[in-house]
Structure 1
């Protein structure tokens, strides 16, 4: 796969690459941002950041302050997009929380979505493989994963479904139990159909019950108590209850006064950066 470099921007002593490429998995062009810190090593660890509903790679790149701490602790950050764009599917732009900008990091099984909306395979397969080949200074065998909201869900799902792929996981206000909330019902119903056994394959609260990987890494989650989606859509306590036998433990930090925005994310991003730097062997 050939990446087109649309911009190279100096940032915190390193560089931010704004890239695009043609995806065989989604059958559309895809954008991705990659921050690479200045480093003397040829094996730079990587953090994969999955964004939330409506976001492009630029939202977290510009608002999370994650690159500052990535430069400080010495890991790269990959910011994928949240859905295919320009698939020309009827209805994909009619709703902010389904279709464009809302791929939910699943592999769709239903028409008309299944031809393009293969975001699980894209993020965890095609994109990582292509970046591994193109940027040999990055060590994708030493990779960790995080995300926000829909992306927090996607990060947890990727960690639980691929137990040997990611060293650790964290999340900001994740949709922790999508099978039982309106966002999940809408998106899982549309992308996966009525069979709820398929929904469970992308539900962190269901996946953690049967997790078979090395569960020594603590799972870090921050959740704002002034988040308008907290009780109706997110339900992190369901994940904590389902994961009570997870050996590494789930550290759910409920923080007063914080909402669902990037002001919330940027306030706690250093704690997440330290969390991942620890499991990536940097501190």
Structure 2
């Protein structure tokens, strides 16, 4: 079973398939998704806004699903998720990658113009549905010609366009959850480590990949993790994944191999061996029981 693909790294490494517009620490992409497997696990250490031009994909995270169809839009925070390919359906998409600092910059810059009163609690979901109105839909399409220019557009212009996108989305009352999330980041310099771990332990991520999502060096991540949880990341992940696998066996009709995949285990034999060590019987025996 393969590891989780880094969505950001894989796309910037192929500028032919993934047309790119970059400015500072932000990136706009235009591409047709090359996915061929029914399900793939992805993660990114950047926030990503995805706008579907044509086609469809379904994203799964923490027991919830979001289906992107034509002109629908989604924010994935710095997280992992399962991406599902509908049969015989392509997917043409505009994707905007950026850090939390860009959220903070836009909120600070346009603070007095934003509808900040009466905002809901920031959503806990790592994926947030975004409403697209006529203004924001027109914005996305206005970006497309820039990808075809022989000379790349000026960085100052791209930065303005990036800010315009977020500002327009924030002004839409239907995106109150998105604005609440962005506003909650104003006094947060880095992602809480527990948030990264508790929302992503069921994905087959390495310690280094968890550290990247948390925006820490691997050594700093391990030190902070041990201080917070009182155990090593490896031991904590094994226990959380076993608990999750046991829950899936008890409450779903998934096969043992599907349970292993959906609980973050790299291969079936390793999963079966440590499950038996923990619970005294194999996953299949436990399921049949």
TM-score by length of 1: 0.27
More helix per residue: 2
TM-score by length of 2: 0.27
Bigger Rg, structure 1 or 2: 2
